[in-house]
Amino acid sequence: MAKLALINREAKRVAVVAKFAAKRAALLVVINDQNASEEEQFQARLKLQQLPRNASPVRLHNRCTLTGRSRGVFRKFGLGRSKLRELAFKGEVPGLVKASW
């Protein structure tokens, strides 16, 4: 099980990304607008840099919902590889069948 502080930190990052998502999107529209003046684009870049680092969705990391493990997480299920295997053998993951021949 991952440390609780790491799990809480990731949850806080998710909240910060959601909080600043609209503001980031608006600034990115101005930055990528070819019709905007260079001064407007420059000001938008400066404002984007002033946002908190954790407001960037790139800093988010997938974690297992059961254990908090950060590596080997399957996006489709939201579980780490070990927990996914355990639950699949028990038959608790719908649509997942052991591939054997």
Convert the pLDDT of each residue in 8-46 to its tens digit: 999 999 999 999 999 999 999 999 999 989 999 999 999
Q: Kindly report the pTM of this predicted structure.
A: 0.78
What does each C-alpha distance from 48 to 14, 16, 52 come to in angstroms? 18, 14, 9
Mean pLDDT value across the chain:
92
Enclosing domain of residue 28: 1-60
Same domain membership, residue 14 and residue 51: yes
Q: Which long-range contacts (CB under 8 A, 24 or more apart) does 89-92 make?
A: none
CA of residue 28 relative to chain centroid, distance: 19
Position 98 pLDDT exceeds 90: no
Considering the domain architecture, whether residues 45 and 70 belong to the same structural domain is answered as no
Give yes or no: residues 27 and 43 share one domain: yes
In a domain, 47, yes or no: yes
Tokens 């069948």 belong to which residue?
97
Spatial separation of the C-alpha atoms in residues 25 and 57, rounded to whole Å: 11
Say yes or no: 69 and 46 in one domain. Answer: no
